[in-house]
Amino acid sequence: MKNPLDPRHKKRQQIVEDLFRKSFHDQPIGDTAKIIFSKLDSIDEGIKNSAPEFPIEKINKVDLAILRLAVYELMIEKKEPAKVIIDEAVELAKEYSGETSPSFINGALGNIVSNNHD
């Protein structure tokens, strides 16, 4: 498990919580979550293409928040290596979601990386 005091991990936790909360209520959220919501169409398209058997509206809200952050980091922000982003998303899924979520998220993000690999 990741060091819970790692500032990058803490930041990602906050963004996932913001994305999750915003999916239920109109609440104040952080800047990164705002950017993700402003690019939701392309982010959700990436998710749909990576896991076509799981419609967006059927993915549980926690997994969707984690996927949205990871897809944003993979496809738009591109500041960290894909392996780091995927490992972090899997760790977040272990912390926040159900027992099948880490493998689902790992598979979906792996598909994104392989589909966007030049």
For residue 2, being part of any structural domain is answered with no
pLDDT of residue 2: 56
For residue 1, being part of any structural domain is answered with no
In angstroms, the CA 16 to CA 112 distance is 19
In angstroms, the CA 43 to CA 12 distance is 17
pLDDT of residue 88: 97
For residue 76, being part of any structural domain is answered with yes
For residue 28, being part of any structural domain is answered with yes
pLDDT of residue 1: 55
For residue 67, being part of any structural domain is answered with yes
Q: What is the dihedral of CA 21, 88, 46, 39, to 10 degrees?
A: 50
At CA 106, angle to CA 102 and CA 108, rounded to 5? Answer: 120
The number of angstroms, rounded, from the C-alpha of 47 to the middle of its chain's C-alpha atoms is 9
pLDDT of residue 116: 78
Domain that holds residue 14: 7-115
pLDDT along the chain (118 residues), means of 10: 76 94 86 95 95 92 97 96 97 95 96 81
CATH number of the domain where residue 54 is located: 1.10.940.10
> Structurally, how many domains does the chain consist of?
1
